[in-house]
A and B are shown apart, each in its own frame.
Chain A
């Protein structure tokens, strides 16, 4: 069963001389979180929560509020429900082609969203559904896009890997290509003097791409506010990280760029989402407030499903491993235990959030299914910017085509 390694909960009012409270697997916690939902209180993360490379360790004390913790729980639960709904729809053959699910990795996307500014930019590869929702999209918009409907966030034209919002540049299909593009978004932020940064995300599989190092080099050379985020879920499709990478300490691969890893320890503790938020806030301060240029962040995480819906995920790892990770290191269950222990919410209240999450997703799926397929006209739409279409776009044979003028 889970070993709840030490997390110290520091109450607001401690008698003089008292030490912070420690919880271990054996003792139940003694201090409760403040009763006011928006009143900040302090958590202390385990000292091994982070590993650093040429930069100072982040503060282990994190300020949170009850309502924020509940929101994190609710968001992770909802995102998991959404991905599970996509799984079911794919198996029912309503979703076709590629579908890469992020079940198990919710702490990264939700934790990130709590640490950054809404005007920062995020770009990632193809495991993008939760980001698309959290960065200003909608569950209905994502599901409808997966179903290939007009109500999809890309009007049904992109599919699973190509979903965008004004602060989220997808959703990209070519492994690693999004990393220099992310550095480019940071270039523009610097050029325009914006007080924001860009999180350019990629996986352990993409980390060896040459263009990633090209982007590292230019970001460091020009002091671009780019946070390179390696979402290390230990497998690049069917290849474990040790078989693809001569150096699996991904946070150290920036060479002159310092790095920070939110380690396995925090995942084991179930504190990975809090540590993720803290790491991201640290990175943001590094790049935007302190203008130290780029930073490499690594999140150690795990996906329960295969690489995509066409991969069972059990030919290159054992079922036992997946089961073990699910039962001992799940980010949602981990957070749940603390919420209950600290009196942030009761089991019933959390069950109610679960139920509501399911209802929200079911509703969104129903609405998405209502959305029609795109009209045939849309084949010719948006090949070029509105108003700049060429005279004629040819179809498959000379009698097919679209004449614009």
Chain B
């Protein structure tokens, strides 16, 4: 399957119009050893290292790839994701900007129109709201409005969603906002495997990609199954309930699944990976098996994705961030986002259990 993906990316004429064109060669995953369980031997790399390596490999491979953003060069990245890249590639290719998101996002778009491949880092996606017009209107819509004449191969990446104790203005999850815009691709990876594979694929993708990371995952040796491009991944198989999540919520869902397993409930956890395009087929396939669906995300309730009513024995359970701006006090903050005990409790409710 990977070789077919490979073929279709590099020789689109040869591809049957069946699979997405962009793919990542298999050797990209060498060096990441896979574990089928959550065995915590520290042989894998952290999410941060995976992102760094993805960018390094792509910048080596294609001299049109460059990074632009605040503190990405001499500071080595606000969250150290771009560490060492300036030393390796120089300041022409790793560009520090002033604190002017709208301006440098626009510059990234213009550079992409001219054939370069910018990786535009936002220190967090909260700050990207200042640039959201450039992301949505200049990057997202131009290919369509130009009748296919002007592609925009830009990647906008950075941490999204909750961090810890950073308050309302620094904690919003924008997956659903960007996910609602046709013309953008929106990715929310979870594991180190996801991050490396999907970031490489996003950089090579000729479409504008919004790449939503999570700051709390950066330091983790998050192990998942081998990434395949733009598809959801069943991280844990089960037969009683389907839990669909993305990014950090996958960690909580996996932990919840462990808790549920102790009580004999076999939860199937799907790591969505791609918000847009959404992999409906994987979800439907799972729901047909389990007949119960739970969706977990950090965003506000009104915007979260909830579909697939047809094969269900019980109403869809949506577990989301609370409909309040994120509070600062620790105990209150804990009530603003889903966590493992909550997911476990709601999963049982979907199964009509009260304990």
Q: Is the CB of A177 within 8 A of B18?
A: no
Q: Which of A165-173, A249-257, A362-370 contacts B (4 or more CB under 8 A)?
A: A165-173
Q: Is the CB of B111 within 8 A of A184?
A: yes
Residues from chain A with a CB closer than 8 A to the CB of B79 are none
Residues from chain A with a CB closer than 8 A to the CB of B89 are none
> How long is the Cα–Cα vector from A222 to B91 in the complex, in angstroms?
11
Q: Which of A3-11, A64-72, A380-388 contacts B (4 or more CB under 8 A)?
A: A380-388
> How long is the Cα–Cα vector from A358 to B28 in the complex, in angstroms?
61
Residues from chain A with a CB closer than 8 A to the CB of B116 are 187-188, 191-192
Interface bits A168-198 vs B (CB < 8 Å: 1, else 0): 0110111001011111111111011000001
Q: Is the CB of A152 within 8 A of B147?
A: yes
Q: Which of B95-103, B169-177, B252-260 contacts A (4 or more CB under 8 A)?
A: B95-103
Q: Is the CB of B18 within 8 A of A181?
A: no
> Is B239 on the interface with A (CB-CB < 8 A)?
no
Interface centre among B144, B207, B230 (most CB of A within 10 A): B144
Chain A interface main SS type = loop
Residues from chain A with a CB closer than 8 A to the CB of B205 are 385, 388
> Is A313 on the interface with B (CB-CB < 8 A)?
no
Residues from chain A with a CB closer than 8 A to the CB of B182 are 383, 393
> Is A303 on the interface with B (CB-CB < 8 A)?
no
How many B residues are at the interface, by size bracket? 35 or more
> How long is the Cα–Cα vector from A174 to B145 in the complex, in angstroms?
13
> How long is the Cα–Cα vector from A123 to B142 in the complex, in angstroms?
13
Residues from chain A with a CB closer than 8 A to the CB of B147 are 152-158, 382
Q: Is the CB of B115 within 8 A of A188?
A: yes
The answer to whether residues A385 and B115 also contact, given A164-B149, A180-B105, A185-B110 and a CB cut-off of 8 A, is no
Contacting A169 at CB < 8 Å: which of B12, B100, B150, B279?
B150
Q: Which of A210-218, A231-239, A333-341 contacts B (4 or more CB under 8 A)?
A: A210-218
> How long is the Cα–Cα vector from A222 to B95 in the complex, in angstroms?
10
Residues from chain A with a CB closer than 8 A to the CB of B17 are 404-405
Q: Is the CB of B111 within 8 A of A215?
A: no
Residues from chain B with a CB closer than 8 A to the CB of A80 are none
Q: Is the CB of B106 within 8 A of A169?
A: no
Residues from chain B with a CB closer than 8 A to the CB of A198 are 110
Residues from chain A with a CB closer than 8 A to the CB of B143 are 382-385
Q: Is the CB of A174 within 8 A of B138?
A: yes
Q: Nearest CB to that of B107 among chain A residues?
A: A184
Residues from chain B with a CB closer than 8 A to the CB of A186 are 110
B39 → chain A, closest Cβ, in Å?
34
Q: Is the CB of A180 within 8 A of B106?
A: yes
> Is A221 on the interface with B (CB-CB < 8 A)?
yes
Q: Which of B19-27, B54-62, B218-226, B292-300 contacts A (4 or more CB under 8 A)?
A: B19-27
> How long is the Cα–Cα vector from A405 to B231 in the complex, in angstroms?
14
B187 → chain A, closest Cβ, in Å?
12
Residues from chain B with a CB closer than 8 A to the CB of A312 are none
Interface bits B140-177 vs A (CB < 8 Å: 1, else 0): 00111111111101000000000000000000000000
Q: Is the CB of B138 within 8 A of A177?
A: yes
The answer to whether residues A388 and B206 also contact, given A164-B146, A191-B111 and a CB cut-off of 8 A, is yes
The answer to whether residues A211 and B138 also contact, given A218-B98, A384-B185 and a CB cut-off of 8 A, is no
> How long is the Cα–Cα vector from A211 to B142 in the complex, in angstroms?
19
> Is B281 on the interface with A (CB-CB < 8 A)?
yes
Q: Nearest CB to that of A180 among chain B residues?
A: B106
Residues from chain A with a CB closer than 8 A to the CB of B20 are 388-390
> Is A162 on the interface with B (CB-CB < 8 A)?
yes
Residues from chain A with a CB closer than 8 A to the CB of B207 are 384-385, 388
Residues from chain B with a CB closer than 8 A to the CB of A391 are 277, 279-281
Q: Is the CB of A162 within 8 A of B111?
A: no
> How long is the Cα–Cα vector from A404 to B16 in the complex, in angstroms?
11
The answer to whether residues A388 and B113 also contact, given A180-B134, A183-B107, A191-B92 and a CB cut-off of 8 A, is no
The answer to whether residues A215 and B106 also contact, given A121-B114, A188-B111, A383-B183 and a CB cut-off of 8 A, is yes
> How long is the Cα–Cα vector from A186 to B185 in the complex, in angstroms?
26
Q: Is the CB of B110 within 8 A of A169?
A: yes
The answer to whether residues A384 and B22 also contact, given A153-B147, A188-B110 and a CB cut-off of 8 A, is no
> Is A392 on the interface with B (CB-CB < 8 A)?
yes
B318 → chain A, closest Cβ, in Å?
20
Residues from chain B with a CB closer than 8 A to the CB of A169 are 110, 113, 150
Q: Is the CB of B145 within 8 A of A181?
A: no
Q: Is the CB of B148 within 8 A of A386?
A: yes
Q: Is the CB of A211 within 8 A of B103?
A: yes
Q: Is the CB of A157 within 8 A of B144?
A: yes
The answer to whether residues A191 and B113 also contact, given A157-B144, A173-B137 and a CB cut-off of 8 A, is no
Q: Is the CB of A214 within 8 A of B104?
A: yes
A162 → chain B, closest Cβ, in Å?
4
Residues from chain B with a CB closer than 8 A to the CB of A210 are 102
Interface centre among A181, A188, A383 (most CB of B within 10 A): A181
Q: Nearest CB to that of B280 among chain A residues?
A: A392
> How long is the Cα–Cα vector from A156 to B147 in the complex, in angstroms?
7
Q: Restricting to B93-137, which residues have a CB under 8 Å from any CB of A?
A: 95, 97-98, 100, 102-116, 133-134, 137
> How long is the Cα–Cα vector from A172 to B134 in the complex, in angstroms?
11
Q: Is the CB of B98 within 8 A of A154?
A: no
Q: Is the CB of A181 within 8 A of B113?
A: yes
B72 → chain A, closest Cβ, in Å?
14
B129 → chain A, closest Cβ, in Å?
14
Q: Nearest CB to that of B184 among chain A residues?
A: A384
Residues from chain A with a CB closer than 8 A to the CB of B95 are 222
Q: Is the CB of A387 within 8 A of B100?
A: no
Contacting A217 at CB < 8 Å: which of B98, B108, B146, B279?
B98
The answer to whether residues A170 and B110 also contact, given A390-B20, A405-B17 and a CB cut-off of 8 A, is no
Q: Nearest CB to that of A156 among chain B residues?
A: B147
B119 → chain A, closest Cβ, in Å?
14
Q: Is the CB of A155 within 8 A of B148?
A: yes
Residues from chain A with a CB closer than 8 A to the CB of B109 are 180-181, 184
Q: B residues touching A (Cβ–Cβ < 8 Å)?
A: 8, 12, 15-22, 66, 92, 95, 97-98, 100, 102-116, 133-134, 137-138, 142-151, 153, 182-183, 185, 205-207, 230, 276-277, 279-281
The 5 A-B pairs of least Cβ separation, nearest first, read: A184-B110, A180-B106, A214-B103, A390-B277, A155-B147
Known interface pairs A182-B110, A211-B106, A388-B205; 11 further A-B residue pairs with C-beta atoms within 8 A, sorted by A's residue number: A164-B149, A174-B133, A179-B106, A180-B105, A184-B108, A184-B114, A186-B110, A191-B92, A390-B20, A390-B276, A391-B281
